[in-house]
Copies of this chain bind each other. A is one copy, B any other.
Amino acid sequence: MSVLIVGSTALDSIKTPVAENPRLLGGSASHAAVAASFFSTVKLVGVVGKDFPKRYLRLYKRHRIDLEGLQILPGKTFHWSGEYEANMNNRRTLLTELGVFETFSPTLPNSHRTTPFVLLANIAPALQHHVLNQVQRPKFVVADTMDLWLNIALPDLLKLLKRLDGFVLNDSEAHQLTKEDNVFAALKKIHKLGPKYVIIKKGSHGSMLSSPRGFFLCPAYPLHKVVDPTGAGDSFVGGMMGYLATAKGPIEANLRRAMICGSVVASFCCEGFGLQKTTRVTRARIDGRVRDLERLTKF
């Protein structure tokens, strides 16, 4: 089965203490779509400007990503610029130019309206609603978010939570949303807001799933060198949804391994700037790191 992915499609200019990389392919939907593409077919919904480099369209196509839902409009592509500190944990935004993204309001192609797996990658909750309204009886809907939407669009986000099967957020966002320091207390409150499956991401410390069948501690793949963590969270949720869309059996039974697959794709994402490393990966290398994680955690 396919995954429909909506989110930002952007150009990222990323500075780290050792390098500067202008106008890389970025955005939550780009990272999530490439990550999901290793496991299933992907329908991308997004918008770019006329300045969007052709090579990035070719990159999507190499990953067999369906671009019928990608609008190319007169104007500039969303451009984000950020800078990481030496430890790669703290990031600050230097510049945000919304461009054509400012008025983005996608109409889904007919072929997209019955996609069973829907990933509402990080984007304004109103847009997540708008896309979800156009999908008929999806099988599994997951949304990601960021602190910005908790700050400026909380009512929209709370409405969205009632419509989701799964919700993914990081530990500081979980704290911000629930005012709870303890992860179990936070999870309990988030479930009450709607989603049956809640995943709390903890960066290099992995993630935690709370589901009707219980909790799962998902490790992060330990890395020898982190080059650029931009898009790691998007890659995680993209890889997870891609795996789920093609795995046999009930979702609940596949979710743990799906998270492990997401964690592995995220690890590759961190090893290069933007999507540079992720796009060079193969399914065989992903499976290799999944087996590594089995060995690393077995006792």
A residues apposed to B, CB below 8 Å = 86-87, 181-185, 202, 205, 208, 214-219, 222-226, 256-257, 259-260, 294-299
Asked whether, in the complex, the Cβ of A297 is within 8 Å of the Cβ of B217, the reply is yes
Residue of B181, B185, B217, B222 near A208 (CB, 8 A) is B222
Q: Can you report 6 residue pairs joining A to B where beta carbons are below 8 Å apart?
A: A87-B181, A182-B223, A182-B225, A185-B224, A216-B296, A216-B299
Copies in the complex: 2
Q: Which residues of B contact A298 (CB under 8 A)?
A: 256
Asked whether, in the complex, the Cβ of B225 is within 8 Å of the Cβ of A299, the reply is no
Residue of B86, B184, B218, B294 near A222 (CB, 8 A) is B184
Q: CA–CA, A296 to B205, complex, Å?
A: 15
Taking A257-B299, A297-B297, A299-B257 as contacts, is the C-beta distance between A215 and B224 under 8 angstroms? no
Q: Which residues of B contact A296 (CB under 8 A)?
A: 214-217
Q: CA–CA, A104 to B182, complex, Å?
A: 41
Having A184-B222, A202-B205, A294-B299, one finds 17 other A-B pairs with CB under 8 Å, namely: A86-B181, A182-B223, A182-B226, A183-B222, A184-B224, A185-B224, A205-B205, A208-B222, A214-B295, A215-B222, A215-B296, A217-B297, A218-B299, A219-B219, A256-B299, A257-B299, A259-B299
| Interface of A, helix, strand, loop or mixed by DSSP | mixed
Q: CA–CA, A100 to B24, complex, Å?
A: 64
Nearest CB of chain B from residue A50's CB, rounded to whole Å:
42
Q: CA–CA, A299 to B224, complex, Å?
A: 24
Query: Nearest chain-B residue to A257 (Cβ)?
Result: B299
